[in-house]
Structure formats: C-alpha cells, structure tokens
Amino acid sequence: MPAPSDKGVRRWFITGASGGLGRHLTEHALRCGDRVTATVRRPAALDDLRAAYGDQLTVRILDLTRPADVDRVVAGALRSGPVDIVVNNAGYAVVGAAEEMTAEQIRDQIEVLLLAPMLITRAFLAPMREQGGGRIIQISSMGGQIGTPTHSSYHAGKWGLEGFTESVSREVSDFGIRLTLVEPGATRTGFASALRYTTASAPYRDNAVGRTRRYLEAADDSVFTGDPAKLAAAIYDTTRHPDPPLRLTLGSDTYEAVHTALTERLTALEAQKERAASVAFTH
C-alpha cells in the first residue's frame, strides 16, 4: 500500500486540465507544492508544466466520452498514493435549439457534463472513505441554477450534476468526504471559442434562440469578466476550509443571475401554497 499523503503535500486529480480553469487550478496547486494527476485529451498541452515541475505532475489521457476509461485512469492515479482532492472540471457546451440538436450531440454533452463526473466521483468514494476523508470539487456553472435558450443540453448536464452532488454529499459526510459545487460566471478561459453549434434552422432564426446564437458568435473576451487565476485561488482556498460550502458562487454575474432565479422560483412556489395543500386526503 502506498503511504498516505503527508500534511504538507496533497494529491490532486483534475480533469480537463489542458486549458482554461483546469489548467489554472493545476498550476496553482503545483505552485503551492502539491502533486497533481491531470487528465487531458492532448498530453502535449502540459509539456511546459511537466518541464517546470517534474514528477510533481502526472499527465494522463482521458476521453470523457468513453466511460470505460475512467476506472483505468483512476486506478492508475491511486497507485501513486491516496488522492486528497478530485476536481471534475472538463466540459463544453452545445449551442442551439433543442429541436436542432442531434441525438449524438445530446448524448456526448450528457456523458461529459454528467455521466463522467458521476463515474469519477463514484470511483474515488471508497478510497476516500477508507483513508478517512477527501474533497470532491464539481465545476458546475451559473447554468446549474438558471436556464437560458440555446443551452438546454448543457443545463440538463449541470442541473443533473447539482442534484447528484447534493445527494452524494449527504451520503458521505459521515466519512469525512466533502463535496463542493463551484458555480462560476462568465470567465475568460476560452470557453466561448470551444462552443459547438447546432445547424441553424429557419423557425428559430428570429426568436430568442437566434438572438442568443448571434450574441455568442459575436462575443469577444470583454464580456467574460471572471479572472480564471482568481477563481483557481478561491477554489484552492476552499479545499483548505474544514467546513466548505456545498455551493461556491464565483462571479458577480453568477450571484445576480442565481439570486434572481431563486427569488422568482420562491415567489412562484409561495403562490401555490394553498393549491399544494389541496390535494391531501380529507378526513
């Protein structure tokens, strides 16, 4: 059995580390002296970090649309020693009307955003339980709390991740395992350039779908106000907290959007109080 990690050096497992928030978080953990297993689809993307940090960094190839690979990659990471922090970060978004999306686009979106994090989380639960605890960070989004046109499959994945994580957090808290959903807003990570678009159709060209599509196609970095380095630092700090929040809201845009959505839902719920009670048996 590998020796457990000492108090000063923690071991991380981070998916989607080749760019964006995943890379920033990988760099931050390495700078702090921790060890990282980073999963990517293109290992050359982290050549500079491997050169700078040597055996502090282990790079593994993982295609999240191939769930069978998860157990193999996780087992390889655990052979080097217990993993203290897991970060399910990898993701992308398909943009377009639900009617325009192909079955393959929907399937791939759900596999990457929901199924893969579920499988990775599940794979680490027993090792973390046996070692007496650990942290699992799920990179969600403001899109895990709100719904916008053109992102139905993305929202399905993120809302599903939120429900899964809230449930699991209650199952494993007795074992010292803490889960946190990170909900960033518009962050300058190159996410927009990686958007995948459906084939536009005439019925949706001039409604909310078409307007949102055109906005996203024309958007530049100025609309993404979140600093990924600051997000990475905030997430890292949370992993040091003995009682981390279930949800970590990062970005004033996220705060405002989620606050509005929750207020609207609460108002709608309160208006249905009498109707909700009306369906009970009368005695």
Enter the DSSP assignment of 181.
E
Q: Which of 18, 141, 154, 236 is catalytic?
A: 154
Residue 140 designated active-site: yes
How many residues comprise the chain? 283
Helix 228-239 with 20-31: angle, nearest 10 deg:
50
The rounded distance, in Å, linking the Cα atoms of 254 and 260 is 10
Q: Does pTM top 0.85 for this prediction?
A: yes
Domains, the chain? 11-270 (3.40.50.720)
Predicted confidence band of residue 7 (pLDDT cuts 50, 70, 90)? low
The rounded distance, in Å, linking the Cα atoms of 270 and 265 is 9
The rounded distance, in Å, linking the Cα atoms of 43 and 59 is 7
Q: Please tell me the predicted confidence (pLDDT) of residue 191.
A: 66
Cβ-proximal residues to 281 (8 Å cutoff; 6+ apart), any chain: none
Residue range 107-133, pLDDT digits in tens: 999 999 999 999 999 999 999 999 999
Residue type present at position 5: S
Residue 7 designated active-site: no
Residue 92 designated active-site: no
| Longest distance between any two alpha carbons in the chain, whole Å | 75
Residue range 38-63, pLDDT digits in tens: 999 888 999 999 999 999 999 999 98
Beta bridge partners of 135: 85, 178
Q: Which of 140, 141, 152, 153 is catalytic?
A: 140
